[in-house]
Amino acid sequence: MEASERSLPCFLLHGVSAGVHLILALAVAGSRLFPRRGKDTVSTVGGVRCYVVATCTMWALAAFQLLLAAYSCYLGAGAGWTLHAAVEQVDAAARGVAWLLLAAYLQFEFRRDERFPAPLRLWWALFLLLSVLAVAVHAATSLDGLPVPARSWALDAVSVLAAVVLLVAGLFGKSELAGGSASEEPLLDGASESSSACASAYAGAGLLGVLTFSWMGPLLAVGHKKALGLDDVPGLDPGDSVAGLLPSFKANLATVAGDGTTSQRVTAFKLAKVLVRTFRWHVAVTALYALVYNVATYVGPYLIDSLVQYLNGGDERRPSKGQLLVLAFIAAKVFECLSQQHSCFRLQQVGIRARSALVAVVYEKGLALSGRSRQAHSSGEMVNIVGVDADRVGNSSWYIHDLWLVPLQVGMAMFVLYSTLGLASLAALGATAAVMLVNVPSVKVQEKVQQNLMRSKDVRMKATSEILRNMRILKLQGWEMKFLSKIIALRKTETNWLKKYLYTSTMITFIFWSAPTFIAVVTFGACVLMGIPLESGKVLSALATLRVSSRRTLCRGCQSAARMLQSRSAMGASPGTPRLKCQRSRTSTFKLVFQARRGMRVAVCGTVGSGKSSLLSCILGEVPKLSGVVRTCGTIAYVSQSAWIQSGKVQENILFGKEMDSEKYDRVLELCSLKKDLESFPSGDQTVIGERGINLSGGQKQRVQIARALYQDADIYLFDDPFSAVDAHTGSHIFKECLLGALVQKTVVYVTHQLEFLPAADLILVIKDGVIAQSGSYNEILGSGEEFMELVGAHQDALAAIDAIEVPNGASEAFSSSGAASLSGSLPSAEKKDKQNVKQDDGHGQSGQLVQEEERERGRVGFWVYWKYLTLAYGGALVPFVLLAQMLFEVLHIASNYWMAWAAPASKDVEPPVSMYTLIYVYVALALGSSVCTFVRALFLVPAAYKTATLLFNKMHVSIFRAPMSFFDSTPSGRILNRASTDQSLVDTSIANRMGSIAFAFIQLGGTVVVMSQVAWQVFVVFIPVIAICLWYQRYYIDTARELQRMVGICKAPIIQHFVESITGSTIIRSFGKENQFLATNNQLMDAYSRPKFYNAGAMEWLCFRMDMLSSLTFAISLIFLINLPTGIIDPGIAGLVVTYGLNLNIMQVTLVTSMCNLENKIISVERILQYLSLPEEAPLSISEDGLAHNWPSEGEIQLHNLHVKYAPQLPFVLKGLTVTFPGGMKTGIVGRTGSGKSTLIQALFRIMDPTVGQIIVDGVDICTIGLHDLRSRLSIIPQDPTMFDGTVRHNLDPLGEYTDNQIWEALDHCQLGDEVRRKELKLDSPVLENGENWSVGQRQLVCLGRVILRRTKILVLDEATASVDTATDNLIQKTLQQHFSGATVITIAHRITSVLHSDIVLLLDNGVAVEHQTPARLLEDKSSLFSKLVAEYTMRSTRT
């Protein structure tokens, strides 16, 4: 064929095909594309049948290509060579050689027990794309009236058929390998045994099921019949599980870091590179899908001009041409549908995998964080990384191809425009570039705003996490509203950035919607100026092209860059600079301890802040050394000073991952005195412990910790003063039975403030100022230095207080089991009844548990949720304006397109109804009007979204902070944090846009239907039933998708909960060597989260595929109707306009339905927040009518009348009929076994929980009749768990800012911390880290003492206030309290007997009942009294020193 007769597309097609096949031939010949595998990597093949089919097909294709090349050469030699003919001949030769080499490779080099390589399958897919593209080019050439040789059609037919066969063979080969991408297959061998592989609905699907997403059918059917549970959701393919992803991700992360480790900072770019390398197979496949999709979308705009000319037809109107046009339109739509849905699904799969891998790596880093790194990365920041940032990185998978798709789309758009408008397309290119350049500043601003928004969110989440962790102390002190105002202030900073983010997004959206109109105006204006005739076919083709390009190209490149930059780098866990400086000589002393024989007991003592806990941290490797070596031989068990308890069953906490050994387990319970406690629990050792052991007493938490350590049967035991939290009898029992009994053959290092435990040690280390001041046995160091003698002297002073009370002779009888029996025998019948109630509760499953499963709504999201969201801001007044602006935009937009279609002539021969300038002026006016409407719509939408998000946040947090303490006891913080981070983030940035998109899609779809009805009203016969089917599909789908989305929200909370819990207890986890166990648990939680998310994505694409097909059917019928109308019945321009809108019918219909489904999925976040708006409230903070005197309580008398208290309605009573009076101005000591109800009594006094029965009267006022803050502000407490907050020393002592610096310094001096703070550079402004981690536990308790000294109230409660300090400091504290609270009512709870001996009255509790209530002297006179026996036991134990 002569060059003048050949089309440019055919020439380009042959050139590209020749180049690709030449590259393939060179690659195969050089054996570089398909390297052979080693024998050790050989795995089971996808089947001999697939191999035989593929091999035969390739030989047949190679033979056909060679014959065709010879035939083309023969024709060319006879007719002469032109440029086009030469290119076609080169193409034919390259095809023949490439397929011959490839067939030979598959026949002779490829082993049948190997998998088809990923590049081979990718080439087959690319070959199918080239073949289909060739068919499209040849069809377009034929439509243009140019002949296409028969051999070209034959080549097309054979190529398409062969490509389909090869691709099917490749897919079946893959599916028989149990899933996973080819590039990842070697990594999945270890995970192939996962039970989820067999249960994965996707992995076992056939080709047809994969193409049509029919593998989702069974799950959708189940979801339609009933509300889905997590057990109904199939498992994941091994390639989607964390176990299958993590090895490859970590290997790539280490490679990208540059030195084989991941300790270097990973930037956003490096992270993107790691993700692309890890999921390269999915990236390649989705790239192919994206290429097909984008080519298919431009077929319609390219053919519109031909369709208009056909309808304008005359002699050229041939039926075959019309049928070919319809076939091309429909084929393009089918390819567009298939490629789009599979691309979306695969990209979502990549996002899910990316999130799983990132969370797993961040969790692993979090477990390994050094001390300094933990200071740099707060728990709130890490929660944000897991809860928000990982989602953002996963969502960025949608934009991974934009870097090359944007130029491709621009190029295709310019090709279509050039073919219709000629050189005017250059104006369109310039306008496009101008739009993108204008958008760049907005995107840069948005990027900066986004970074600041995330930083402010990190700060807020850090504060929220800390507050939730310490909510009990805040309520005890009456500070919760002050800290709420802090959260609101942080949120205000965040919302300032949020507002800027929303407005910059609005600017980008405005440019996005206005860009097609602006480019069209420039392009058509250029046509007028250049004298290029504007025919209706060309105009409509240009408009359709600009609509497609704007939707996929304009602004998207800039938006995707901003989205990608939202993802933040993974954290490094590099060792921090040590805060503890260890001397070389002292380190050698530590070394001697661990080179001693097994069974040595080493005691560590010293004053508060001397470095005792830091010594254990050095042994554990938690504090970096400057010099010296610490060696440990064998496994280590560590019991921390502040108890770390996991959320879960008591038994799980004790076993800690070990197998159950009943005999050993019972022995451990007995050693730790836990059997009696478990008997009182609702479900025994199956009782679920709340977060941080909230439903256990301090002593019970420590004994569970000790039981956990004992059950591990380690070689080395480290105890960090666990005896301070238990009573004297229990402490003696544990020390005797555990340290001197069960652990007699073990190496034990124990820190203690109780000197009575020192003589039993083989070696005693006295720590002072971070160094070992003395070491040796008890007798060796007793008189060898001042440090130890100071501690002994203070201890003897405390014992002298007992002698001053004149303990009667014979009272040294041990507090034996008979004493305990008499104590339990004195319980009233109320306890026995309560125990019976407990046993009855056991039969009700979870009814007796404190922590219940998270509440989950079922069924459709109620209309009230939508209505509440719409009307929350300004009563919904802005909503009508948003809808009106959108409707005006659509009307003006349709009017502008209608004007161009009517005013432009159908051909050169037709006289235009108006001049070209009038055409442009009117179009510009309509375009400007539509752009203004877009801007107005956005201006109304942003304030509504911002106001609604702010109101929901404020209302939810007020509701949370006003909730009773029982809510926090029974609700893991992960659930609250999930709402405050993930759900709130969706409300901030997504819900309003999703709700708006439904209205916009509905209005656009209505406009499209109106336009189509102008010509083809008969299409309603099909359109109405299609819409009905679509709505039925949508309802069928949403039943499953809604529950899956709810499960996504519910499954996310345990991840955050486990993450926060693990970070808090990372030292203990590492000391026990349980990192792998916790990593496995995190992986299981991540997989449980990914399951509903994965199948939710599959369900969405199942729906979209069917929506697309139905819409394509409607469009096809419309086309068939149009081409069969006689000439002249309709205006060709209007008919072209109908086709232009019909091209987007499927997109609009799918957008509407999917937007509705997406909104119903995402509105669940609003539903979850609204759940927390209706939490039960505590009593009012203040009651104006209570009439309290300003000096109340003036006497401080406390009366308890028949007091019954329980933690929750489903739990048993903790206090049972307590009737006691605490005289005003006197000091009362409360003693009793751990779990006896001492701390519960204090909580009832502060109304943390209101009495179920009975009254508490203070100075004649029933405390239940006054406001909570009126009560709590008049009381003071030093709690059992000392708490410090992130901030400064001043802020920790005076959070409300009520006192002067002089008063604060005075309080510090009185609590023995003045000198310590003065040594710090910033004095009162010295920083305090989160949870006070840069202060010892003892120092934290002294800070709590300083707070009460500042307040100086009439009633003071000390709840184990001196448990973590040494005896000398305890004595100083007691003197300070006597000095400053001489006339106050002081209630002291203490396990250290000397702390209560100075009391005027002693109350002894057991199982919530007052057993003894008398003065210490009177009780000591009675040798049968339980208090006397308790003192005798303490005296006997202490006199050993």
- Residues 1061-1066, mean pLDDT to the nearest whole number: 82
Answer whether residue 990 shows pLDDT above 50.
yes
Mind listing the pLDDT tens digit for each residue in 1251-1279? 888 889 988 888 888 888 888 888 888 88
Structure confidence at residue 589 (pLDDT): 38
Q: Give the pairing type, strands 1287-1288 and 1327-1328.
A: antiparallel
Facing residues of 689 across strands?
A: 648
Answer whether residue 111 shows pLDDT above 80.
no
- Residues 24-40, mean pLDDT to the nearest whole number: 54
pLDDT cut 70: percent of the chain above it: 78
The confidence band for 809, taking pLDDT boundaries of 50, 70 and 90, is very low
In 1014-1144, alpha helices (H): 1020-1064, 1066-1071, 1075-1123, 1132-1143
Structure confidence at residue 1438 (pLDDT): 54
Which of 57-71, 799-813, 1423-1437 is least confident? 799-813
Structure confidence at residue 3 (pLDDT): 37
Mind listing the pLDDT tens digit for each residue in 620-643? 877 777 777 777 788 888 988 878
SS3 letters for 986-1033? HHHHCHHHHHHHHHHHHHHHHHHHHHHHCCCHHHHHHHHHHHHHHHHH
Answer whether residue 169 shows pLDDT above 80.
no
SS3 letters for 507-538? HHHHHHHHHHHHHHHHHHHHHHHHCCCCCHHH
- Residues 91-111, mean pLDDT to the nearest whole number: 75
Find out whether 1366 and 753 touch, Cβ atoms under 8 Å: yes
Answer whether residue 37 shows pLDDT above 50.
no
Which of 533-537, 575-579, 771-775, 1150-1154 is least confident? 575-579
- Residues 674-700, mean pLDDT to the nearest whole number: 77
Region of 534 please: left (phi>0), alpha (psi -120 to 50) or beta.
Answer: beta
Find out whether 57 and 169 touch, Cβ atoms under 8 Å: yes
Query: What is the distance between the alpha carbons of residues 202 and 196, in angstroms, rounded to a whole number?
Result: 11
Structure confidence at residue 562 (pLDDT): 39
The confidence band for 264, taking pLDDT boundaries of 50, 70 and 90, is low
Query: What is the distance between the alpha carbons of residues 1021 and 1018, in angstroms, rounded to a whole number?
Result: 6
CB-count exposure of residue 700 (10 Å: 0-12, 13-18, 19+) = buried
Residue 281: which H helix or E strand, with range?
helix 280-312
Angle of helix 536-552 relative to helix 424-469, nearest 10 degrees, comes to 30
Structure confidence at residue 811 (pLDDT): 34
Q: Where are the beta strands (DSSP E) in 296-409?
A: none
Q: Which of 85-94, 348-357, 1277-1286 has the highest mean pLDDT?
A: 348-357
**DSSP three-state, residue 294:** helix
DSSP state of 1411: E
Largest pairwise CA distance in the chain:
132
Answer whether residue 180 shows pLDDT above 60.
no
Mind listing the pLDDT tens digit for each residue in 889-903? 888 888 887 888 777
Q: How far is CA 1058 from CA 206, 363, 462, 1084, 1094, in A?
A: 38, 10, 16, 11, 22
Site of tokens 């046993």 = 839
In this structure, how many other beta carbons lie within 10 angstroms of the beta carbon of residue 39?
6
Which of 596-600, 659-663, 988-992 is least confident? 596-600
Answer whether residue 588 shows pLDDT above 50.
no
Answer whether residue 851 shows pLDDT above 70.
no
End-to-end Cα distance, the chain? 113
Query: What is the distance between the alpha carbons of residues 614 and 582, in angstroms, rounded to a whole number?
Result: 10
In 1144-1179, alpha helices (H): 1145-1171
List, in order, residues 6 or more apart from 146 with CB less than 8 Å away.
5, 6, 7
Structure confidence at residue 106 (pLDDT): 74
The confidence band for 520, taking pLDDT boundaries of 50, 70 and 90, is confident
Mind listing the pLDDT tens digit for each residue in 130-160? 887 787 777 777 766 677 777 777 777 788 8
Angle of helix 319-368 relative to helix 118-143, nearest 10 degrees, comes to 150
Answer whether residue 667 shows pLDDT above 50.
yes
Mind listing the pLDDT tens digit for each residue in 1302-1316? 888 888 888 878 888
Please give the model's pTM, rounded to 2 decimal places: 0.67
Answer whether residue 580 shows pLDDT above 70.
no
Answer whether residue 2 shows pLDDT above 50.
no
Answer whether residue 176 shows pLDDT above 70.
no
Structure confidence at residue 957 (pLDDT): 92
**DSSP three-state, residue 417:** helix
The confidence band for 101, taking pLDDT boundaries of 50, 70 and 90, is confident
- Residues 488-497, mean pLDDT to the nearest whole number: 90
Structure confidence at residue 376 (pLDDT): 60
Which has more pLDDT, 316 or 658? 658
Which has more pLDDT, 1149 or 1246? 1246
> Which pair of tokens denotes residue 813?
């009888």
153-185 residues labelled b (16+ CB within 10 A) or e (exposed): eebbebbbebbebbbbbbbbbbbebbbbbbbbb
Amino acid identity, position 738: C
Answer whether residue 1170 shows pLDDT above 50.
yes
Which of 864-873, 936-945, 1154-1163 is least confident? 1154-1163
Which has more pLDDT, 1139 or 1128? 1139
Q: Give the pairing type, strands 1198-1206 and 1253-1258.
A: antiparallel
Structure confidence at residue 380 (pLDDT): 61
The confidence band for 236, taking pLDDT boundaries of 50, 70 and 90, is confident
The confidence band for 675, taking pLDDT boundaries of 50, 70 and 90, is confident
Mind listing the pLDDT tens digit for each residue in 1024-1058? 787 788 888 888 888 888 888 878 878 887 888 88
Query: What is the distance between the alpha carbons of residues 477 and 55, in angstroms, rounded to a whole number?
Result: 79
The confidence band for 955, taking pLDDT boundaries of 50, 70 and 90, is very high
Which of 53-67, 175-189, 254-268, 402-416 is least confident? 175-189
Please give the mean pLDDT across all residues of the chain. 76
Mind listing the pLDDT tens digit for each residue in 1133-1157? 777 777 777 777 767 777 777 777 7
Which has more pLDDT, 1326 or 260? 1326
Structure confidence at residue 544 (pLDDT): 79
